[in-house]
Structure 1
């Protein structure tokens, strides 16, 4: 029986390692109110994959556009791989194609036609051996909205600490 438990724990650890976060855009959740998210694939070259697996991606200034019926990722910096020559390395800020179904792209296009909505990359993560990116449809927050969100977050934190104190 003990062996079965060890195998299950090892399998769970392997699944957790296979689904790990590579890069996160924490500022996006502060700047935008995320209305909907979508997980898509991303078209990468070999040195980009190696750099992302080493944690060398920055989503901070990134955004997505729909051009010619394709979903494109712009302004995301993936550092050149340190062990590759300049000839084989990639351009850090190149435009990358996102892989999504046609109906998903059409749905996003319909939402983006509304005023004030944008497509923002939220995180890059591994799903098994595949690198995926989560994008969100976001509405820009005004300064007073950011303050209200911070105040709400602070009050929830105080409630949690008070509850923990009395348990």
Structure 2
């Protein structure tokens, strides 16, 4: 199986958040790659990554960034692949709102799917759902995952 998802982050300090997406892919058996790509400090690296992602076989890119959080939007402006943005509450953040709004408020024509602050797990799950539209075995795994969530809620309701 080839790598299907790229997980990128603006800084290694975002790894403690972005690893949650990697954990989802390990659980679902989805091949992924993970690296640091800074929109501000390594713009050429970002451009090359985004421009070549589809031809390298990637199907989805998850981009996590804090502060000004330009990485997801800039990558989305270069690639035809779906990009999922993860706003990260960084040390220089304004309670994460700067990251959220930077990723969420993309101009028309450059969509970025945006998950909640620090919600790399949801980004991973959304990427699996995107991939499952063309992979029946992944769709079965996703349905089992959702069935388990439902079961846990029903068990909690019975306990009350």
- TM-score, length basis structure 1: 0.28
Higher relative contact order (CA 8 A, sep 6+): 1
Structure whose alpha-carbon radius of gyration is higher: 1
Structure number with higher helix proportion: 2
- TM-score, length basis structure 2: 0.28
